[in-house]
Amino acid sequence: MEIAQIKEELKKILKPSRYRHSIGVEEVAMDMAAIFGYDIEMAGLAGILHDCAKHLSEQELLDECNKYGLPVTDIEKRCAHILHAKVGALYARIKYGVDNEEILSAIRYHTTGRPDMTLLEKIIFTADYIEPYRKPLPRIDEIRWAAYNTLDLAVYMILENMIEYLESTAEAIDTTTIETYKYYKGLLKL
Q: What CATH number is associated with residue 72?
A: 1.10.3210.10
Exposed/middle/buried for residue 128 (C-beta within 10 Å: 0-12, 13-18, 19+): buried
List pLDDT tens digits, range 33-67: 999 999 999 999 999 999 999 999 999 999 999 99
User: What is the chain's mean pLDDT, rounded?
Assistant: 96
User: pLDDT value at position 142?
Assistant: 97
Q: Kindly report the length of the chain.
A: 190
* Among the listed residues 34, 33, 25, 3, the one whose alpha carbon sits nearest the alpha carbon of residue 133: 25
Q: Is the pLDDT of residue 16 over 90?
A: yes
The predicted structure's pLDDT at residue 128: 98
pTM of the model: 0.96
Q: For position 71, what pLDDT does the model report?
A: 96
Considering just the CA atoms, what is the radius of gyration of the chain in Å? 16
Q: Is 54 a domain residue? A: yes
Is 142 a domain residue?
no
Q: What percent of the chain has pLDDT over 90?
A: 95
Q: How many domains does the chain have?
A: 1
Residue 109 belongs to what domain range? 3-135
pLDDT tens for 142-155 read 999 999 999 999 99
Alpha helices in the chain (DSSP H): 3-13, 16-36, 40-49, 58-68, 74-78, 83-94, 101-108, 119-130, 140-149, 151-169, 175-187
Name the pLDDT band for 182 (thresholds 50, 70, 90).
Answer: very high
- Quick check: is 190 in a domain? no
Q: Is the residue at 60 inside a domain?
A: yes
| Residue 130 counted as domain residue | yes
Assigned domain for 174 exists: no
Residue 165 maps to a domain: no
